[in-house]
Amino acid sequence: MKQYIKIEISQLLGILLIFSTIGYLTKQPYIAMGLSLIAYFAKHAYYLTRLASLIDSESQISPPYPPDIWGLIYKELARHRMRSRKRKRTLNRFASRFRKVATSIPDGLLILSKPGSLEWANPAANQLLNISWPRDEGVPVEQLLHLEGLREYLEAPDYQKPLEFPSPVNRAIILSLRVAPFGSKKAQRLLVVRNITELYNLNQTRRDFVSNVSHELRTPLTVISGFLENLSDNQMLEFQKRPFLLMLQQAERMNTIINDLLALSRLEMGKAPSSEKPVFVAELLNKIVDQARALADQKGEYDITLDADDELCVVGEESELLSAFSNLIYNAIIHTPTKTKISVNWRRQEKTACFSVSDTGPGIEQHAIPRLTERFYRVDKARSRQSGGTGLGLAIVKHIIGRHDGELRISSQPGVGSRFDCTFPEEMVIEKSQLQPQQTSKC
Ligand code: ADP
């Protein structure tokens, strides 16, 4: 920089010297001085206008010689232009690669603007949803998709669960829609639409199969149980009593499994809880804990405590929540030895509400925890069977809590105890004081 300033100053001094000599020789010093200033400014005006035209045009920039302050500016401009050309080339290459990838992806991709109108869509979106870009650019996505619940889904605070719906192009195709927010403050959204027909049909077949088999087994089992009960009531020889008792016990066990399988099928088939009434959880828990204490008394001595916020209600289906909560409370009695401390809690956790059951029982190994909600998974198969467990209880609990938009979390430490938390989001929680009089009188 210093070197350019030196050149600039020496150029100015040179011009002044030449013109002052001319002024001295012609005896016109002021005119010569004026001419020198005009010459100096003319040079700057020339390079300035050249610079302006160079900025506008794409032509090659050649810095003036000698390399004065204009040389520095021209050189910097040339360097900047070269860098931005390189960046443009890289961006173009990247954009064309992105376009090729987006075109070949079988999933439909839609980019939405901040207010929710279409900015861009790939060709798969046209095949799956009949949404074409640029034809539909700027149209609100709700007008393009006509999907019930789409607005609520897009406005939800998180998008953990996908939205499943039949394709508007062909209703036999089942699609799953997920949202990936991106951009500054995650204000823009990328919708990813996937064809899940095969998986959906497979699941449907599995559900139908389990449900049909359970229904088909129920009738013969009722007949067998009825006969066994009649026979065991009659007088029988001593050596016949034990096999009959065992047969009756096994028939009862099969009945429990079938009932649990049917309950699970029903839960899987329905999308949302069948009722959306406020459930008075504290009252529900009082009833369950009373019954649980009676069960515990049969087994031995247990220390069961209940601490429930009487004001806190959850919106949903009471019979389902009763099943989930009692499953967890009974598990704490069934899978722990006597003298175990069991605490049942229902309280607010910031804006959410949490139901929890913790015990000081034997606990569960870490590797088993993620598998507990799988159907028929039992940590100790033999012991669970003895205690009458089917291995379906926690799968049922997970489904019920999920249907109420909640989350089941399990934590445990062998030798210390286990804890089962069911957290319900803010929108499912309601205070008793917020309810209408007729809603509270129902409880
Ligand atoms: P089950 O019908 O056997 O109770 P669940 O699905 O309810 O089936 O539970 C799965 C397994 O999780 C049980 O078999 C048991 O091994 C374990 N389990 C559940 N609750 C507890 C608990 N409170 N303490 C220790 N183990 C538990």
CB of 389 sitting under 6 A from ligand 1: yes
Pocket test of ligand 1: the residue of 372, 401, 409, 411 to mutate, having most ligand atoms within 8 Å of its CB, is 372
Query: Amino acid letter at 180?
Result: A
Q: How far apart are the C-alpha atoms of 251 and 232, rounded to whole Å?
A: 13
Instruction: Assign 242 to helix, strand or coil.
Output: helix
Cβ neighbours of 90 (radius 10 Å): 10
- For residue 331, which atom of ligand 1 is closest to its CA? 20
Q: Whose CA is nearest to atom 16 of ligand 1?
A: 379
Q: Quick one: three-class SS letters along 282-328?
A: HHHHHHHHHHHHHHHHHHCCCEEEEEECCCEEEEECHHHHHHHHHHH
CB of 332 sitting under 6 A from ligand 1: yes
Ligand 1: centre distance to CA 393 (Å): 8
Please report, rounded to a whole number, the percentage of residues in the chain having pLDDT higher than 70: 95
Chain position carrying tokens 């699941």:
203
CATH 3.30.565.10 fits 278-442, yes or no: yes
pTM of the model: 0.69
The region that residue 186 occupies, defined by phi over 0 for left and psi between -120 and 50 for alpha, beta otherwise, is left
Chain position carrying tokens 């939405």:
112
What CATH code would you report for 105-195?
Answer: 3.30.450.20
Strand-pair category, 277-279 with 174-182 = unpaired
Residuewise pLDDT in 10s, the chain (443 residues)? 777 778 878 888 888 888 888 888 888 888 888 888 888 888 889 888 888 887 777 777 777 766 778 888 888 888 888 899 999 999 999 989 988 888 889 999 999 988 889 999 999 999 999 999 999 999 998 889 888 888 888 887 777 788 899 999 999 999 999 998 887 777 788 999 999 999 999 988 988 998 899 989 999 999 998 888 887 766 777 788 888 888 888 898 899 999 999 999 888 877 666 567 899 999 999 999 999 999 899 888 899 999 999 999 999 999 999 999 999 999 999 999 999 999 999 999 988 999 999 999 999 999 999 999 999 998 887 777 777 778 999 999 999 999 998 999 999 999 999 999 999 999 899 998 887 766 664 43
The full set of domain ranges for the chain reads: 2-99, 105-195, 199-269, 278-442
Q: Whose CA is nearest to atom 26 of ligand 1?
A: 335
Q: Whose CA is nearest to atom 8 of ligand 1?
A: 391
Pocket test of ligand 1: the residue of 260, 327, 334, 335 to mutate, having most ligand atoms within 8 Å of its CB, is 335
The residues, any chain, with a CB within 8 Å of residue 159's CB and separated by 6 or more, are: 153, 178, 179, 180, 181
Report the run of H or E that residue 410 belongs to, with start and end.
strand 407-413
Q: In what order do the strands lie in the sheet with 277-279?
A: 277-279, 312-316, 429-431
Ligand 1: centre distance to CA 334 (Å): 8
Chain position carrying tokens 């520095």:
72
| The predicted structure's pLDDT at residue 33 | 84
Which tokens hold the place of 154?
């897009």
68 and 43 Cβ atoms separated by less than 8 Å: no
Ligand 1: centre distance to CA 394 (Å): 7
DSSP 162: P
CATH architecture observed for domain 199-269: Orthogonal Bundle (1.10)
| The predicted structure's pLDDT at residue 87 | 95
Q: Whose CA is nearest to atom 23 of ligand 1?
A: 332
- For residue 417, which atom of ligand 1 is closest to its CA? 24
Ligand 1: centre distance to CA 419 (Å): 12
- Is the C-alpha dihedral spanning 304, 307, 311, 312 positive or negative? negative
